[in-house]
Amino acid sequence: MKYVLLFAETEKFAKELAAMDDDERQAAYEKVTEWFARHAAQITHHGHLQPAHTATTVRLDEAEPLFTDGPYVEGKEVVSGYAEVEVADLDEAMGIARDWPACPIVEIRPLA
């Protein structure tokens, strides 16, 4: 079964990351690299998203498409990356998400 893990940053997390010195930030990034290596057998694809302000939103619920700069919803939590995993079940996906070492929120969704 395939799931997508959506990694969401909070304002607090972003501030903590920005306040780190170069060595602390590098150590944090290395933990993420190690996490991806540890789960490489289950991860089929992953990516890091550009900041939310770089988004373009298309609304298709009007007579004509409406394009706007920025995310669909302004929020205190922003999806910053994802990993697609192939696992036996939700429990295995939850186990992988449980030890994610970076941003504090991971949403798990099954792929259709």
CATH architecture under which domain 2-110 falls: 2-Layer Sandwich (3.30)
Tokens found for residue 69: 């700069």
Residues 6+ positions from 56 with CB-CB distance below 8 Å: 67, 68, 69, 70
State pTM to two decimals: 0.87
**Side-by-side strand order, sheet with 77-86:** 43-48, 77-86, 2-10, 105-110
Return the domain boundaries, the chain: 2-110
Percentage with pLDDT > 90 across the chain? 81
Please state, in angstroms and rounded to a whole number, the distance separating the CA atoms of residues 4 and 42: 11
The pLDDT value recorded for residue 74 is: 67
